[in-house]
Chains A and B, each alone.
Chain A
Amino acid sequence: MWSAFANPERFERLAARLVPWFGWGAAILFAIGLPWALIISPPDYQQGDTVRIMYVHVPSAWLSMAAYAGLGGASFVYFIWRHNIADLAAQALAPIGAVFAFLTLATGSLWGRPMWGTWWEWDARLTSMLVLFLLYLGYMALRAAIEDERLAARAGAILAMAGLINLPIIKFSVDWWNTLHQPASVIRLDGPTIHMSQLWPLLVMALAFTALMTALVLMNVRNMSLAKRAEARARRRIEGEGT
């Protein structure tokens, strides 16, 4: 079934249809989620209004990890089956994941300063998230450093797959080690411990971020695929005119 999407033209047609749905979906969800997060949801009894940082921090963290899972998965598909669309998906996911990882670190730091009294603490959750950000930067730097595209794709795929080990470390760091970062309060086996008045706006914002990321990834993969095929045709044409 998945090999059907390895056909670039089929993928481009499908992506062109899906991008507006996800794009407008994200806009609508942000229009609902932002007033809910900033105005309607109550301040926390301990954190006060700084709890509103959670509505951008947590979705950024989830998506930075989801984007890396996608990057690792796409790299695996490329490494085994050599599907070019999978490689393009990996390339599209890297900058998006890097921005979300950066936002996670920056918004976490801005929350930590008034709540913990420090901008940064070398605890397991924060450090493993920094490693994720560095993995994204390393992946993009590695690909940019190798001129041969196929070699760059293979080397990038190996790095991306090796980096997957960091995802469970991020997720379970708060359980495995004694960290300053609070334990999971939403994705838990025994259900969320967060109050519904904060959980719902958080979920709406997470959906908005997810829809936005999906639209951007689909748009970028489609455009990279179009550019790649057009570049190949243009080169063939120029070479044909030269002979």
Chain B
Amino acid sequence: MAEFFAMGGHAVWVWSCYGLSAGGIAFLIWLSFRQRARAREWQKLSGDGQP
């Protein structure tokens, strides 16, 4: 297991890349859910149901 995380001595570079990518994807998902919440707000204000 330690060998896997060590990535042949390149752990810092490899895991930084995967961490950044996970962060970027999480940010995009958060943006999408914020957009959905905004749509629901407008639907409530207009007297419609949920999207």
Q: Which residues of A contact B (CB under 8 A)?
A: 12, 38-39, 43, 48-50, 52-53, 56-57, 60, 95-96, 99-100, 102-103, 106-107, 110-111, 113-114, 212, 216, 219-220, 222-224, 226-227, 230-231, 233-234, 237
B36, A230: Cβ atoms closer than 8 Å: no
Interface footprint category on B: 20 to 34
Total inter-chain residue pairs, C-beta < 8 Å: 99
CB of A45 to closest CB in B, whole Å: 12
Residue numbers in A under 8 Å from B14 (CB-CB): 49-50, 52-53
B8, A49: Cβ atoms closer than 8 Å: yes
Q: Using known A-B contacts A56-B18, A113-B13, A230-B46, determine if residue A99 contacts B35 with beta carbons closer than 8 Å.
A: no
Residue numbers in A under 8 Å from B35 (CB-CB): 219-220, 223-224, 227
Q: Which residues of B contact A (CB under 8 A)?
A: 4, 7-10, 13-14, 16-18, 20-21, 24-25, 27-29, 31-32, 35-36, 38-39, 41-43, 45-48, 51
B25, A212: Cβ atoms closer than 8 Å: yes
A sample of 29 inter-chain contacts (CB < 8 A) reads A38-B18, A49-B7, A49-B10, A50-B7, A52-B7, A52-B14, A60-B21, A95-B31, A99-B24, A102-B24, A107-B21, A114-B13, A212-B25, A216-B28, A216-B32, A220-B32, A223-B35, A223-B36, A223-B38, A223-B39, A223-B51, A224-B35, A226-B51, A227-B35, A230-B39, A230-B45, A230-B46, A230-B48, A237-B46
